[in-house]
Amino acid sequence: MRGIGIVRKVDHLGRIVLPKELRETMNISPDDGVEIFVKDDQIVLQKVNPSCVFCDSTAELFYFKGKIVCRGCLEETRSHVV
């Protein structure tokens, strides 16, 4: 990991603001999801890149019963209906 020399304080609600330069560098837009991990004594943030629960594709994604499914898998499930 590398430091970028920017320090932010945690507000009274536990929030921090990611600097604009960092958001631009990491291609993080408003409403993007960010996962939070703990590794030893570090807090790690990672941008969420949604993918199909069946094949991990990131193209043409849809929500189906609360799960993310790509068009190909969705069409394949339709052909297996009994």
Handedness of CA 54, 59, 65, 67 (dihedral sign): positive
Q: Give the residue among 11, 12, 30 at the shortest CA–CA distance from 20.
A: 30
**Same-domain pairing of 43 and 66:** no
Range of the domain at 58: 50-82
* Length, in residues, of the chain: 82
Question: Which pLDDT tens digit goes with each residue over 2-24?
Answer: 777 888 999 999 999 999 988 99
Residue 42 has which token pair? Answer: 């570090």
Place of tokens 């994604």: 61
Do 42 and 26 share a domain, yes or no?
Answer: yes
Domain count of the fold of the chain? 2
77's tokens = 């499930």
64 and 76, same domain (yes or no): yes
Tell me: the pLDDT tens digits for 30-78? 988 999 999 999 999 998 888 999 999 999 999 988 889 999 998 888 8
